[in-house]
Chain A
Amino acid sequence: MASIAGAPSVPSEKILRSPGYWATVWRRFRRDPVAVGAGLMIVAIVMIAILAPYIAPQDPYKGMTLRRLKPPGTEGFPLGTDELGRDMLSRLIYGARISLFMGVTPVFIALFIGSAIGIVAGYAGGWLNTVLMRTIDVFFAFPSVLLAIALSGALGAGIMNGLISLTVVFVPPIARVAESVTTGIRNRDFVDAARASGAGALTIIRKHVLGNVLGPIFVYAMSLIAVSMILASGLSFLGLGVKPPEPEWGLMLNTLRTAIYTQPLLCALPGLMIFITSISFNLLTDGMRSAMDMKA
Chain B
Amino acid sequence: MNSAAAISPILAIAGLTVTFTGGSSPVRAVDGVDLALGRGEVLALLGESGSGKSVTLRTILNLHDPRRARIDGKVTAAGTDVLALEGRSLAAFRGKVASMVFQEPMLALDPVYTVGEQIVEAVLRHETVTRSAARGRALELFERVRIPSAERRLEAYPHEMSGGMRQRAMIALALASRPQILLADEPTTALDATVQVQILLLLRELQRELGLSVIFVTHDIGVAVEVADRIAVMYAGRIVEQGPVRDVIRKPRHPYTIGLLATRAHGGRLIGQRLPAIPGSPPDLANMPKGCAFAPRCKLRSDACDAARPEIVKVTPAHHVRCIHTERTVGL
Contact = CB atoms under 8 A, between A and B. Distances in A.
A and B, direct touch (CB closer than 8 Å): yes
Interface of A: 3-5, 8-12
Contacts of B297: 8-9
Contact of B277 (A4, A9, A12): A4
Contacts of A5: 279-280
Interface string B264-302: 000000000010010111011001010000001100000
Contacts of A4: 277, 279
Contacts, number: 25
A9 B280 contact: yes
Contacts of B274: 3
A42 B279 CA distance: 52
A8 B293 CA distance: 13
Contacts of B280: 5, 8-10
A10 B279 contact: no
9 contacts: A5-B280, A8-B297, A9-B280, A10-B283, A10-B284, A10-B289, A11-B289, A11-B296, A12-B284
The 9 closest A-B pairs by CB, nearest first: A5-B279, A8-B280, A10-B296, A8-B281, A12-B287, A3-B274, A9-B280, A4-B277, A9-B296
A5 B287 CA distance: 21
A8 B280 CA distance: 4
A8 B277 contact: no
Nearest to B23: A296
* Interface SS, B side: loop
Contacts of B283: 10, 12
B290 to A, nearest CB: 11
Nearest to B295: A10
Contact of A9 (B279, B284, B287): B279
Contacts of B277: 3-4
Contacts of A8: 280-281, 296-297
A274 to B, nearest CB: 35
A291 B158 CA distance: 35
Nearest to B283: A10
* Interface SS, A side: loop
A8 B296 CA distance: 8
Nearest to A3: B274
Contacts of B296: 8-11
B52 to A, nearest CB: 18
A1 B281 CA distance: 20
A25 to B, nearest CB: 15
B305 to A, nearest CB: 13
For B274, B281, B283, which residue has the most chain A Cβ atoms within 10 angstroms? B281
Contacts of B284: 10, 12
A160 to B, nearest CB: 49
Nearest to B301: A9
A267 B281 CA distance: 65
Contacts of B281: 8, 10
Nearest to B22: A296
A9 B296 CA distance: 7
A244 to B, nearest CB: 53
A5 B299 CA distance: 13
A9 to B, nearest CB: 6
A8 B287 CA distance: 14
Given A10-B281, A12-B284, 13 more contacts: A3-B274, A4-B279, A5-B279, A8-B281, A8-B296, A8-B297, A9-B280, A9-B297, A10-B280, A10-B283, A10-B289, A11-B296, A12-B287
A12 B280 CA distance: 12
A6 to B, nearest CB: 9
For B280, B287, B289, B297, which residue has the most chain A Cβ atoms within 10 angstroms? B280
A11 to B, nearest CB: 7
A12 B277 CA distance: 22
Contacts of B289: 10-11
A11 B283 CA distance: 10
A205 B73 CA distance: 53
A10 B283 CA distance: 7
B314 to A, nearest CB: 30
B137 to A, nearest CB: 42
Contacts of A10: 280-281, 283-284, 289, 296
B235 to A, nearest CB: 14
Contacts of A11: 289, 296
A82 to B, nearest CB: 49
Contacts of B279: 4-5, 9
A11 B277 CA distance: 20
A15 to B, nearest CB: 13
A198 B284 CA distance: 38
For B274, B279, B284, B289, which residue has the most chain A Cβ atoms within 10 angstroms? B279
Nearest to B276: A3
A8 B277 CA distance: 13
Contacts of A12: 283-284, 287
Nearest to A28: B24
A187 to B, nearest CB: 20
A10 B284 CA distance: 9
B272 to A, nearest CB: 13
Nearest to A7: B280
A61 to B, nearest CB: 53
A12 B289 CA distance: 9
B215 to A, nearest CB: 29
A5 B296 CA distance: 12
Contacts of B287: 12
Nearest to B296: A10
B260 to A, nearest CB: 16
A4 B289 CA distance: 23
B273 to A, nearest CB: 10
